[in-house]
C-alpha cells in the first residue's frame, strides 16, 4: 500500500530534516520501498544523504517545473536502501515561478508524481537501487548476506584473501567475488570456506 507522509513545520530548527531522513532510512530498513522528496531549497536532506547538491543536474526544481521526469531525477542513497528526489537552492527559483502562476501551482507536485503509475515508480526505484547494488531481491540479498558473513569472519580471524585461498584451494578472485556478492558460491565452495574459517556450514547462513 502506498502512503505519503509530509514533514512540515513553520518553525525553523525543530528537527524536520532529521526526522525525514531518519524516517526514510528506518522505513527502508523494514524493507518498505521508500522515496524521500526534498522540498527544502536548503537541500539539507539531500546533503544528509551524501549527495553533493552543487553538482545536481536534475532535482525537485526541474520536476516541479515540468523540465524533467521524476524517474530521471531519482538518486539511490548509498548504504541506506531508499531513494531520494534531491534538491538545492534552485528550488527557490521554482518557488518564484510557481508564485507567479495564478492557477494550478498547488497541484504541481501532485501532478509531477501522478503520471507515474505506482508500478512505474516502484520500477524506477528498483532500477535506481539495483544500479548501485542496493537491490533487495531475495536472491541478491542472500548472496550479499553470505558474502558479508564470510568477509566478517575472515577479518575476525585476521586472514587475507590470499591466506583463505590457500586454505580452501579456491582462487583469490572467486573468494573476492563471493565476498562482494558478485558471484554465487557453490555449496562445495561454501563448505570449504566454512571449514577453513573453522565454523559449521549453517553458521554462514545465520543472517539469511
Ligand atoms: N530529536 C532530536 N534531539 C536533539 N537534537 C535534534 C533532534 N532532532 C534534530 N536535532 C538537531 O536539531 C538541529 C535542527 O534539526 P533539523 O535541521 O532537522 O531541523 P529543521 O526543522 O529541518 O531545520 P530547518 O527549519 O532549518 O530546515 C540539528 O542540529 C539536529 O541535529
Ligand atoms: Mg531542514
Ligand 1 neighbours, Cβ below 6 Å, are 12-18, 40, 42, 44
Task: Give yes or no: residues 94 and 28 share one domain.
Answer: yes
107 within some domain = yes
pLDDT category of residue 116 using cuts at 50, 70 and 90: low
Is this model's pTM higher than 0.75 or not?
Answer: no
The whole domain housing 184 covers 138-205
Residue 9 lies in a domain: no
Measured in Å, residue 15 CA sits from the centre of ligand 1 at 3
List, edge to edge, every strand of the sheet that includes 83-85: 35-37, 83-85, 75-76
On the question of pLDDT at 208 being above 80, the answer is: no
Tell me, what CATH number does 30's domain have? 3.40.50.300
Q: Which ligand is nearest to the CA of 44?
A: 2
Angle, in degrees to the nearest 10, between helices 187-196 and 161-168: 110
> Within this chain, do residues 22 and 59 fall inside the same structural domain, yes or no?
yes
53 and 102 in a common domain: yes
pLDDT at 107: 84
User: Which residue, judged by its Cα, is nearest atom 6 of ligand 1?
Assistant: 15
In angstroms, the CA 177 to CA 194 distance is: 16
Q: Per-residue pLDDT for 136 more than 70?
A: no
Residue 149 and residue 49 share a domain: no
Q: What are phi and psi of 181, to 5 degrees?
A: 60, 30
7 inside domain: no
Residue 31 makes CB contacts below 8 A (sequence gap 6+) with 136
**Distance from the CA of 34 to the center of ligand 2, in angstroms?**
19
**Cα(48) to centroid(ligand 1), Å:** 12
* Among the listed residues 61, 9, 19, 10, the one whose alpha carbon sits nearest the alpha carbon of residue 39: 61
Same domain, 163 and 126: no
Domain count, the chain: 2
Distance CA 50, CA 32 (A): 21
pLDDT of residue 132: 76
Is position 89 within any domain?
Answer: yes
Tell me the pLDDT tens digit for each residue of 47-103. Answer: 999 999 999 999 999 999 888 888 889 999 988 999 999 999 999 988 888 888 888
Q: Give the span between the Cα atoms of 72 and 63, in whole angstroms.
A: 9
Other beta carbons within 10 angstroms of residue 184's beta carbon come to 15
Which residues are within 5 Å of ligand 2 (an ion), measured at CB?
Answer: 16-17, 44
On the question of pLDDT at 39 being above 60, the answer is yes
Whether pLDDT at 114 is above 80: no
Determine the pLDDT at residue 158.
95
End position of a domain, from candidates 106, 131, 156: 131
In terms of domains, do 127 and 27 share one?
yes
* CATH code of the domain covering residue 175: 1.10.260.40
First to last CA, the chain: 26
Q: Which of 6, 11, 12, 15 to mutate to test the pocket of ligand 1 (most atoms within 8 A of CB)?
A: 15
Q: What percent of the chain has pLDDT over 70?
A: 94
| 173 Cα to the center of ligand 1, angstroms | 45
Q: Are residues 24 and 104 in the same domain?
A: yes
The pLDDT-based confidence of 187 (bands split at 50, 70, 90) is very high
CB atoms under 10 Å from CB of 201, counted, come to 13
- Confirm whether 87 is domain-assigned: yes
pLDDT for position 125: 80
State which of 109, 131, 153 marks the end of a domain.
Answer: 131
- Domain assignment of residue 122, yes or no: yes
pLDDT at 163 over 90: yes
Question: Residue 98 has what pLDDT?
Answer: 87
> Would you call 154 helix, strand, or coil by DSSP?
helix
Centre of ligand 1 to C-alpha 19, Å, is: 8
Cα dihedral 186/189/193/196 (nearest 10): 160
Is pLDDT of 115 > 60? no
Question: Last residue of a domain, which of 131, 148, 177?
Answer: 131
Same domain, yes or no: 120 and 142? no
45 assigned to some structural domain: yes
- The alpha carbon of residue 198 and the mean position of all alpha carbons in its chain are separated, in whole angstroms, by 34
Residues 153 and 70 reside in one and the same domain: no
Tell me: do 95 and 148 sit in the same domain: no
| Ligand 1: nearest atom to the Cα of 14 | 21
Least confident span in 133-142, 153-162, 167-176? 133-142
- The verdict on residue 125 lying in a domain is yes
**From the alpha carbon of 40, which atom of ligand 1 is closest?**
27
28 and 84 fall within a common domain: yes
Same domain? For 37 and 81 the reply is yes
Amino acid at each position: 500500500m502506498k502512503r505519503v507522509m509530509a514533514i512540515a513545520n513553520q518553525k525553523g530548527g525543530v528537527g524536520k530534516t532529521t526526522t525525514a531522513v531518519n524516517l526514510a532510512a528506518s522505513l527502508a530498513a523494514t524493507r518498505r520501498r521508500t522515496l524521500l522528496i526534498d522540498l527544502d531549497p536548503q537541500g539539507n536532506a539531500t546533503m544528509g544523504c551524501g549527495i553533493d547538491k552543487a553538482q545536481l543536474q536534475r532535482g525537485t526544481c526541474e520536476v516541479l517545473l515540468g523540465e524533467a521526469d521524476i524517474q530521471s531525477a531519482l538518486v539511490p542513497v548509498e548504504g541506506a536502501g531508499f531513494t531520494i528526489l534531491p534538491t538545492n537552492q534552485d528550488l527557490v527559483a521554482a518557488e518564484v515561478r510557481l508564485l507567479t502562476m495564478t492557477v494550478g501551482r498547488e497541484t504541481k507536485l501532485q501532478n509531477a508524481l501522478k503520471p507515474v503509475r505506482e508500478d512505474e515508480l516502484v520500477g524506477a526505484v528498483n532500477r535506481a537501487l539495483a544500479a548501485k547494488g542496493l537491490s533487495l531481491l531475495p536472491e541478491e540479498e542472500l548472496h550479499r548476506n553470505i558474502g558479508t558473513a564470510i568477509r566478517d569472519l575472515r577479518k575476525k580471524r585476521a586472514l587475507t584473501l590470499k591466506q583463505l585461498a590457500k586454505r580452501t584451494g579456491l582462487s583469490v578472485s572467486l573468494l573476492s567475488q563471493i565476498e562482494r556478492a558478485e558471484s554465487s558460491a557453490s555449496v562445495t565452495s561454501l563448505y570449504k570456506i566454512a571449514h577453513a574459517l573453522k565454523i559449521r556450514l549453517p553458521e554462514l547462513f545465520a543472517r539469511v
